[in-house]
């Protein structure tokens, strides 16, 4: 019904881009210290600002940040374990409770607590499949536990019966820390079920510890053994597809299983592109995949690279600076939208901060945002970093504003008083059902 040629949208997502100033970089952030002529050209060609994916000071995970940036309500997020399971080909129906599990080595202490000694690289623990098989099923107080091995040292835990997702993790995400105990969350909607689930998982983890220790033939006096850490407990949910929510056919390009799961859960296409060792070449490959996705019918493409995040987790600011510079080398021509359809809206930003000089996993530091659009007025910012973009005309942008802003520039944003379709997404639909004057028509 709308015969306009609408511009496609390309989002280049630099995972974990946000950071802090470090003395070894002369008081600059890794991004500000990096040589980034192409990112600077993108900023100079468009409009800029600072993005807070979940709000000021909040430190999101990749999966939740993307869920919100793709136009969904944070409170509707089902939980990461659902996405991990979906990526692994394990269907999670609405209401199904699941969790993510990972094998690690622990050391038993005199007070019976467990210190995490090391996490394994994928495939680094022999006989992982056999260990998972030995503890595959369990039941306690009517709550069933079923393990589904996915890859390497990872598995999905399916919880049946009166299970609740409102429990704590056991994984502190740091070696040398104690494994946590399982508790019901304060303020759980169903405290009885949450307490029941916590007891059942506690019993299961103790059973698993004993069984795996026996299987690995630990020598007398050796207090190390495999142990199962549980995290990201979630409940399956149904929500509108990305096309229903935004009016666009979407595609995500990433090397991430959790983003693959998110894409599939939202009805988006996903192209798995493993992260290459040559970061510049890897970046070019992702842009080439994006161009191909547009050529084969996508309206919206999110090209994701985890390289800045991995560099941040290495806790080496200079390394992260160099990785960002390498990414920039792969972005040549993007400022002029070379290789993409005419009028393409180009967005470059990050999903969260991964500080490279502290033990924080993720941080609430904001990320710079640059947008090239024929519908957006250029500002005077000529550099792409946290400080320069903070002076841009977009100001401080919340994650919930991100998709409406893109649809506004695209020319398809829904105005707040309009209800033309049964699903109230963030776009103005052009595929609504027309009224007919005959009773046997589609509107009868």
DSSP 8-state assignment for residue 7: P
Q: How far apart are CA 329 and CA 326, in angstroms?
A: 5
What's the pLDDT at 368? Answer: 98
Residues 6+ apart with CB under 8 A from 141: 196, 199, 200
Q: Whole-number mean pLDDT of the chain?
A: 92
User: Positive or negative CA dihedral for 421, 422, 427, 432?
Assistant: negative
Which of 342, 405, 395 is closest to 368 using CA atoms? Answer: 395
Q: Name the residue with higher pLDDT: 176 or 220.
A: 176
Provide the 10 A C-beta neighbour count for residue 281: 13
Q: Name the residue with higher pLDDT: 190 or 426.
A: 190
What's the pLDDT at 152? Answer: 86
Query: Does position 1 have pLDDT exceeding 50, yes or no?
Result: no
Pairing of strands 154-160, 143-151: antiparallel
* Contact (Cβ atoms closer than 8 angstroms) between residue 388 and residue 411: no
Mean per-residue pLDDT, 279-296: 98
Residue 74 CA neighbour count, 13 Å, CB half:
13
* Contact (Cβ atoms closer than 8 angstroms) between residue 353 and residue 366: yes
Q: How far apart are CA 72 and CA 399, in angstroms?
A: 10
What's the pLDDT at 174? Answer: 86
pLDDT above 70 covers a percentage of the chain that reads 95
Q: Residues 218-249: pLDDT tens digits?
A: 667 778 899 999 999 999 999 899 999 999 99
At residue 215 the predicted structure's pLDDT band, cuts being 50, 70 and 90, is confident
What's the pLDDT at 424? Answer: 66
Mean per-residue pLDDT, 346-373: 94
3-state class (DSSP) for residue 48: strand
Q: Residues 38-96: pLDDT tens digits?
A: 999 999 999 999 999 999 999 899 999 999 999 999 999 999 999 999 999 999 999 99
Q: Domains of the chain: which residue ranges?
A: 9-76+239-410, 87-235
Residues 6+ apart with CB under 8 A from 422: none
pTM of the predicted model, to two decimals? 0.89
Q: How far apart are CA 280 and CA 260, in angstroms?
A: 23
Tokens standing for 274? 């493993």
Query: Does position 188 have pLDDT exceeding 80, yes or no?
Result: yes
Exposure class string for 62-72: b at 16+ Cβ within 10 A, else e: bbbbbbbbbbb
First to last CA, the chain: 20
What's the pLDDT at 327? Answer: 98
* Contact (Cβ atoms closer than 8 angstroms) between residue 20 and residue 313: no
Q: Residues 374-415: pLDDT tens digits?
A: 999 999 999 999 999 999 999 999 999 999 999 999 998 877
* Contact (Cβ atoms closer than 8 angstroms) between residue 309 and residue 354: yes
Q: Residues 288-306: pLDDT tens digits?
A: 999 999 999 999 999 999 9
At residue 441 the predicted structure's pLDDT band, cuts being 50, 70 and 90, is low
At residue 426 the predicted structure's pLDDT band, cuts being 50, 70 and 90, is confident
pLDDT above 90 covers a percentage of the chain that reads 82
Q: Residues 100-116: pLDDT tens digits?
A: 999 999 999 999 999 99
Which of 201, 177, 197 is closest to 189 using CA atoms? Answer: 197
User: Helix, strand, coil shares of the chain as percentages rounded to 5?
Assistant: 30, 25, 45
What's the pLDDT at 336? Answer: 98
Backbone torsions φ then ψ of 108, nearest 5 degrees = -80, 130
Q: Decide if domain 9-76+239-410 falls under CATH 3.30.360.10.
A: no
Query: Does position 136 have pLDDT exceeding 90, yes or no?
Result: yes
* Contact (Cβ atoms closer than 8 angstroms) between residue 349 and residue 42: no
Which of 111, 109, 128, 110 is closest to 119 using CA atoms? Answer: 128
Radius of gyration (Cα) for the chain, nearest Å?
A: 24
Query: Does position 4 have pLDDT exceeding 80, yes or no?
Result: no
Q: Which contiguous run of DSSP H or E holds residue 103?
A: strand 97-108
Pairing of strands 97-108, 154-160: antiparallel
């Amino acid at each position: 019904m709308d015969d306009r040629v609408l511009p496609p949208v390309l989002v280049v997502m630099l995972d974990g881009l946000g950071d802090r100033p470090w003395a070894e970089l002369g008081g600059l952030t890794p991004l500000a210290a990096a040589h980034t002529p192409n990112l600077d050209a993108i900023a100079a060609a468009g409009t800029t600002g600072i993005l807070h994916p979940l709000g000021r000071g909040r430190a999101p995970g990749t999966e939740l940040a993307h869920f919100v940036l793709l136009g969904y309500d944070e409170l509707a997020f089902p939980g990461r374990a659902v996405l991990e399971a979906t990526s692994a080909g394990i269907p999670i129906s609405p209401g199904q409770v699941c969790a993510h599990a990972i094998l690690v080595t622990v050391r038993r202490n005199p007070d019976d607590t467990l210190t995490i000694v090391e996490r394994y690289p994928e495939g680094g623990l022999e006989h992982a499949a056999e260990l998972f098989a030995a503890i595959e099923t369990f039941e306690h107080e009517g709550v069933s536990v079923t393990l589904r091995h996915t890859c390497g040292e990872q598995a999905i835990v399916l919880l049946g019966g009166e299970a609740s997702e409102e429990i704590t993790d056991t994984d502190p995400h740091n070696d040398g820390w104690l494994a946590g105990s399982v508790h019901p969350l304060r303020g759980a909607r169903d405290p009885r079920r949450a307490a029941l689930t916590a007891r059942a998982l506690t019993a299961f983890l103790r059973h698993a510890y004993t069984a795996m220790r026996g299987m690995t033939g630990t020598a007398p006096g050796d207090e190390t053994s495999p142990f199962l850490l549980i995290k990201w407990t979630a409940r399956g949910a149904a929500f509108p597809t990305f096309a229903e929510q935004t009016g666009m056919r979407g595609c995500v390009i990433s090397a991430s299983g959790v983003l693959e799961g998110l894409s599939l859960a939202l009805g988006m296409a996903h192209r798995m592109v493993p992260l290459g060792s040559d970061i510049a070449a890897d970046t070019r490959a992702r842009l080439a995949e994006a161009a191909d996705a547009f050529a084969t019918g996508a309206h919206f493409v999110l090209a994701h690279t985890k390289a800045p995040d991995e560099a941040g987790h290495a806790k080496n600011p200079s390394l992260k600076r160099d990785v960002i510079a390498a990414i920039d080398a792969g972005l040549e021509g993007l400022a002029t939208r070379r290789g993409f359809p005419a009028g393409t809206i180009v967005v470059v930003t990050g999903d969260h901060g991964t500080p490279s000089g502290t033990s924080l996993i993720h941080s609430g530091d904001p990320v710079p945002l640059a947008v090239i659009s024929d519908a957006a007025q250029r500002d005077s910012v000529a550099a792409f970093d946290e400080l320069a973009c903070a002076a841009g005309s977009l100001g401080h942008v919340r994650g919930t504003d991100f998709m409406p802003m893109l649809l506004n520039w695209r020319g398809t944003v829904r105005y707040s008083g309009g209800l033309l379709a049964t699903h109230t997404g963030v776009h103005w639909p052009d595929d609504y059902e027309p009224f007919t004057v005959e009773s046997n028509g589609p509107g009868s």
